[in-house]
């Protein structure tokens, strides 16, 4: 029995030594692609949003500005029933809007259950830029938007 244990022990340690030596000789390198911004949309109606975002980027604007401008295009489209002014009503028959945004430093802002404001993404951006909060909801989001000069619209 002792011989078998000795054999297994030496075989395992030899195998580990060989695998470690083999692994250390493998060089892992990935080609470095130039860092270029990309703009992606899930749906076809996002193509106009992408174009607006590219305009900002082409003028050396910040990515977070491009995101905000692109989202506003979609929010302003009355034919888009998923978000913005053309959005379908919720369960209770109200058009309630949500938006969130994040910058390159992991700062974030969001609003939820916002009613009667055309561009919730712009309000979310103000939450990110002007408050220590990450999210404002409902009446608090409404009061904040009004305090920041956003106008209620139906």
The domain total for the chain is 1
In a domain, 18, yes or no: no
Between these two residues, 7 and 67, which has the higher pLDDT value?
Answer: 67
CB 69 within 8 A of CB 55: yes
Within-domain flag for 95: yes
Residue 66 neighbours by CB under 8 Å, 6+ apart: 37, 39, 52, 53, 54, 56, 57
Residue ranges making up the domain that contains 125: 39-147
pLDDT tens digits, residue range 64-112?
A: 999 999 999 999 999 998 888 889 999 999 999 999 999 999 999 999 9
pLDDT band at 36 (very low <50, low <70, confident <90, very high): confident
Between CA 60 and CA 77 the distance in angstroms is 26
E-state strands within the chain: 97-102, 108-114, 135-137
């Amino acid at each position: 029995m002792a011989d078998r244990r000795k054999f297994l022990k030496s075989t395992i340690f030899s195998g580990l030594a060989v695998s470690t030596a083999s692994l250390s000789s493998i060089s892992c390198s990935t080609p470095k692609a130039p860092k270029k911004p990309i703009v992606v949309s899930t749906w076809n109606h996002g193509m106009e949003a992408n174009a607006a975002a590219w305009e900002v980027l082409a003028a050396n604007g910040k990515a977070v500005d491009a995101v905000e401008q692109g989202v506003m295009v979609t929010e302003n489209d009355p034919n888009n029933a998923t978000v913005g002014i053309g959005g379908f009503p919720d369960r209770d028959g109200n058009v309630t809007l949500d938006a969130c945004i994040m910058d390159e430093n992991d700062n974030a802002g969001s609003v939820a259950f916002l009613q009667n404001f055309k561009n919730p993404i712009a309000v979310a951006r103000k939450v990110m830029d002007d408050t220590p909060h990450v999210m404002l909801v409902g009446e608090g989001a409404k009061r904040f938007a009004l305090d920041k000069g956003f106008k209620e619209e139906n």
